[in-house]
């Protein structure tokens, strides 16, 4: 499909620090790539002349046109478990509530939960997500149906290694030629994965030429457990095992010393910051301002919808900034534009897609969203960057394009039956809770 987006306010996310961040302009899409981003009418005329009638025109008047958001850490099938366990610590949450019900979740249940999560994310302007869960083949299937870009991470854990290997082989076989689905190797956490199994996961990562996705330094209990078990803190243990020799995306990273942060910066480890999940589970506050100052690439994730309790990247961005300000007692840290970078260009870098995703420029993949700024809570327009981060809601997203395909139009998903997705999810969780 060829698409011309006209009369929008373009936020490309690729301009120099001393340049204007947005401008009135237009954007052309040919196939699955952006063909031009420009303020010049001549570029519009040339695009229309080239494609004649074979061109869909979208009037973006009153809208911000920007890259789709990238959620770098979640478990979208857990959307099915939203609300089943709240107001308890992480390990109690896992051991007493989440893992028991997950034991009854198979391929079909995870497929249904993943469809619900994909629908929620698309309608909120998230076009790419990084997942970690069992049965990632089901998550990949749901993502292809929804038309959302997914990086799935089959999950290595000591008590389920055989299924982990079956899962990654199934994903590799079925989705190796997919435009939307790619893979990382998931290592659940240091406390659930032995050094030998971590090394096995690393070997698979090397064979597949892909990165590692891991929960890291999320709680004080984890810190204590790892020290007692390995006589090292979690970051030191990753170094000792050799895991961070592979491209690594580490989620949470709440308990990080200055030396840990230096180690991450020197080894190009990317961090997925999950402020709302860390707040809800009282895990703590990650030292994100220090990480950014030290050159660590920091992106944003929502975590799963049973510990957040949604997949709303706009709400996550706002919380990300405000939490760092109050934690450092410095209102200047984590500016609105820095947060937008974390949700777009930094996310692309974290998944090895820098220059392809998270930006609007010629040749980049056409993952584009239109945000309606004609809303009372976004007036008056004085600083559009500030309004996006501090005032915008997921419901302000009007149009979503992934890989050149319109998947949300006028707030309606074009790829899925929204009512059926929600009904299937309700029926499934009712059955799981009553068995």
Where are the chain's structural domains? Answer: 2-67+356-413, 69-350
Contact 345, 364 (CB under 8 A): no
Judge contact between 209 and 235, C-beta under 8 A: no
* Per-residue pLDDT in tens (0 to 9) along the chain, 435 residues: 899 999 999 999 987 777 789 999 999 999 999 999 999 999 999 999 999 878 999 999 999 999 999 999 999 999 999 988 888 887 888 888 888 888 889 999 999 999 999 999 999 999 999 999 999 999 999 999 999 999 999 999 999 899 999 999 999 999 999 999 999 999 999 999 999 999 999 999 999 999 999 999 999 999 999 999 999 999 999 999 999 999 999 999 999 999 999 999 999 999 999 999 999 989 999 999 999 999 999 999 999 998 899 999 999 999 999 999 999 999 999 999 999 999 999 999 999 999 999 999 999 999 999 999 999 999 999 999 999 999 999 999 999 999 999 999 999 999 999 999 999 999 999 999 887
Report the pLDDT value the prediction gives residue 324, as an integer from 0 to 100: 97
The reported pLDDT for the residue numbered 329 is 96
| 69-350 fold | TIM Barrel (3.20.20)
Token digits of residue 146:
């929804």
The pLDDT of residue 205 is 94
* Nearest in space to 281 (alpha carbons), one of 417, 87, 427: 87
As assigned by CATH, the class of the 2-67+356-413 domain is mainly beta
**Burial of residue 88, with CB atoms counted within 10 A of its CB: 0-12 exposed, 13-18 middle, 19 or more buried:** middle
For residue 183, the model assigns a pLDDT of 97
Whole-structure pTM value? 0.97
- Span between the terminal Cα atoms of the chain, in Å: 47
DSSP string, 268-324: T-EEEE-HHHHHHTT-----HHHHHHTT--EEE----TTSSS---HHHHHHHHHHHH
Q: CA 427 to CA 425: how far, in whole Å? A: 6
Distance, in Å, from the CA atom of 70 to the CA atom of 313, rounded to the nearest integer, reads 8
């Amino acid at each position: 499909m060829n698409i011309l987006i006209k009369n929008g306010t373009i936020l490309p996310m690729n301009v120099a620090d001393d340049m204007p961040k947005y401008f009135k302009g237009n954007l052309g899409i040919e196939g699955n790539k952006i063909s031009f981003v420009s303020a010049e009418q001549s570029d519009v005329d040339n695009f229309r002349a080239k494609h004649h009638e074979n061109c869909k025109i979208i009037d973006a008047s009153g809208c911000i046109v920007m890259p789709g958001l990238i959620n770098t850490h979640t478990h979208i099938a857990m959307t099915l478990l939203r609300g089943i366990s709240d107001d308890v610590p992480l390990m109690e949450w896992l051991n007493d509530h989440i893992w028991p019900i997950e034991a009854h979740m198979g391929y079909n249940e995870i497929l249904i939960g993943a469809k619900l999560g994909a629908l929620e994310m698309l309608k909120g302007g998230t076009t790419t997500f990084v997942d970690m869960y069992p049965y990632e083949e089901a998550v990949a299937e749901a993502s292809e149906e929804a038309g959302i870009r997914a990086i799935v991470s089959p999950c290595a854990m000591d008590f389920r290694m055989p299924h982990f290997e079956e899962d990654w082989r199934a994903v590799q076989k079925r989705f190796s030629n997919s435009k939307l689905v790619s893979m990382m190797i998931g290592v659940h956490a240091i406390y659930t994965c032995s050094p030998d199994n971590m090394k096995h996961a690393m070997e698979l990562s090397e064979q597949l030429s892909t990165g590692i996705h891991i929960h890291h330094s999320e709680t004080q209990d984890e810190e204590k457990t790892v020290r007692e078990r390995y006589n090292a803190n979690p970051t030191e243990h990753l170094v000792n095992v050799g895991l961070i020799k592979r491209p690594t995306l580490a989620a949470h990273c709440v308990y990080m010393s200055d030396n840990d942060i230096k180690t991450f910066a020197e080894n190009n480890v990317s961090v997925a910051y999950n402020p709302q999940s860390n707040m809800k589970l009282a895990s703590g506050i990650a030292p994100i301002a220090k990480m950014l100052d030290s050159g660590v690439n920091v992106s944003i994730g929502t975590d799963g919808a049973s510990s957040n309790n949604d997949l709303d990247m706009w709400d996550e961005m706002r919380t990300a900034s405000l939490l760092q300000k109050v934690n450092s007692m410095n209102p200047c840290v984590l500016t609105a534009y820095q947060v937008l970078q974390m949700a777009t260009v930094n996310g692309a870098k974290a998944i090895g897609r820098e220059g392809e995703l998270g930006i609007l420029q010629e040749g980049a993949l056409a993952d584009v969203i239109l945000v309606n700024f004609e809303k009372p809570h976004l007036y008056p327009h004085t600083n559009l960057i500030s309004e996006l981060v501090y005032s915008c809601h997921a419901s302000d997203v009007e149009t979503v394009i992934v890989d050149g395909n319109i998947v949300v139009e006028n707030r309606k998903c074009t790829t899925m039956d929204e009512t059926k997705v929600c009904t299937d999810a309700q029926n499934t969780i009712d059955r799981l809770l009553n068995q």
